[in-house]
Amino acid sequence: MKNFTSFADAGDYKALLQQALEIKANPFGYQEVGRNKTVGLIFFNPSLRTRLSSVKAAYNLGAQVWVLNAGTDSWTLETVDGAVMDGSTQEHIKEAIAVMSQYCDVLGVRTFPTLTDREADYGEVFFNKIISYATVPVISLESATLHPLQSFADLLTVAETKRTERVKVVLTWAPHVRALPQCVPNSFCDWFTDIDWVDLVITHPEGYELDPIFTRGARIEYDQHKALAGADFVQAKNWSSYHDYGQVLSTDPNWMLTPAHMAGTNDARFLHCLPVRRNVEVSDAVLDSPNSLIIQQAGNRTFAMQTVLHELLK
């Protein structure tokens, strides 16, 4: 593993998943890997889980860790190549990333999409620029199009709680008051379409089709109740339109997940990456039900990150 930005970077996912299960069973058993190593974390956007689970993962491995909130903790960073920096920006990311690379052995970076420039977002122009300026391996803490650490934690959660060899997993769109990125659903599809014991079904209102590069022929069912029938796992998430880029095309409350929606499933376990807007995306009754795995899922963010750090630092 050179960098960790997508499912492809995971390589042999079965081996990586096995490693994550072993690390979870013995979280402090790999401290030699992190000894005298430093993990740097740069956030261009807010975070709760990614930030804290990454710090915890580094500590579990015996590594040092520093965190920078870019722009607020540091000089205001310029991202445009060739910019005449006579405005508000004070330092170019070209120097900033190269300098920060000298202060760590692996660099985690979070950069959200613009949701206005699809070409730049889906070309991962900003994230790729960071990789090109870095002199250490880079881990995506969520980029413009993908959130691989989240999906790895989702896979770990499904793998450790599934009750049958094969499972039906449904990714359902949920309503929201704001336009959100497609990173989490893109990444969920990027990972789950290639798991040989998963039958993935995606459901959303028309107009919310994701980039087929990530859905890769997975079944799309526009009738949410039909999609949920017989599901073993349900992952809910809002996203804005990919085709009508960044637009909110629907806020239909009928798509909010309730016990009535879950009734047609195979007593499905419920997943959400968090944060969640209660009683907008998902009802309290679903989030607080015994089948809800959301806290365990967030806990697994630590072991997903620890496994990736272990691969990059060992």
Q: Which residue number, 50 or 265, has a Cβ lying nearer to ligand CP?
A: 50
Instruction: Of 171, 202, 189, 181, give the one whose Cα is nearest residue 247.
Output: 181
Q: Give the Cβ contact number of residue 198 at 10 Å.
A: 20
Query: Is residue 307 within the footprint of ligand CP (CB under 6 A)?
Result: no
Of the candidate spans 43-51, 86-94, 115-123, 302-310, the one that interacts with ligand CP by CB under 6 A turns out to be 43-51
Q: Is residue 295 involved in binding ligand CP (CB under 6 A)? A: no
Residue 102's Cα: distance from chain center in Å? Answer: 26
Q: Is 204 annotated as a binding residue?
A: no
Helix (H, G, I), strand (E, B) or coil at 167: strand
Q: How far is the CB of 141 from ligand CP (least distance, A)?
A: 8
Residue from 274, 277, 291, 296 binding ligand CP (CB under 6 A): 274
- 273 sits near ligand CP (criterion: CB under 6 A): yes
Residues in binding contact with ligand CP, number by CB under 6 A: 9
Residue 54: CB minimum distance to ligand CP, A: 9
Q: Which one, of 180, 79, 64, 181, lies nearest residue 128 by Cα?
A: 79
- Classified as helix, coil or strand, 63 is coil
169, 200 Cβ separation under 8 angstroms: yes
- Which residues between 156 and 195 bind ligand CP (CB under 6 A)? none
Residue with token string 């985690």: 108
- Using CB under 6 A as the binding rule, whether residue 74 contacts ligand CP is answered as no
Which neighbouring-strand residues pair with 109? 42, 140
Would you give the binding string for ligand CP spanning residues 127-146, x where CB under 6 A is met? Answer: ---------------x----
Between 49 and 176, CB nearer to ligand CP: 49
Q: Which residue, 153 or 170, is less far from ligand CP as judged by CB?
A: 153
d(CA 150, CA 301): 7
Does 150 participate in binding ligand CP (rule CB under 6 A)? yes
Distance of closest approach, residue 65 Cβ to ligand CP, in angstroms: 15
What element of type H or E holds 121? helix 118-122
Where in 50-69 is the site for ligand CP (CB under 6 A)? 50
* Interface segment toward ligand CP; rule CB under 6 A; list 41-49, 87-95, 121-129, 168-176: 41-49
Residue 50 counted as an annotated binding residue: yes
**Smallest distance, ligand CP to C-beta of residue 226, A:** 28
**How far is it, in rounded angstroms, from Cα 120 to Cα 306?**
30
> Which residue, 78 or 142, has its beta carbon nearer to ligand CP?
142
Nearest CA to 5 out of 183, 159, 170 is that of: 183
**150 among annotated binding-site residues:** yes
Q: Hey, CA dihedral for 301, 251, 232, 10, is it positive or negative?
A: negative
48 binds ligand CP (CB under 6 A): yes
Sheet containing 219-220: give its strands across: 219-220, 198-203, 167-173, 233-237, 269-271
Give the relative orientation of helices 294-313 and 49-60 as an angle to the nearest 10 degrees. Answer: 50
CB-CB neighbours of 244 under 10 Å: 11
Listed ranges 46-54, 56-64, 187-195, 210-218: which one lies at the site for ligand CP (CB under 6 A): 46-54
Closer of 59 and 152 to ligand CP (Cβ) = 152
Is 49 annotated in a binding site? The answer is yes
Rg (CA), the chain: 19
Detail the residues annotated as belonging to a binding site.
Answer: 47-50, 75, 110, 142, 147-150, 176, 237, 273-274, 277, 301
Interacting residues with ligand CP (CB under 6 A): 47-50, 142, 150, 273-275
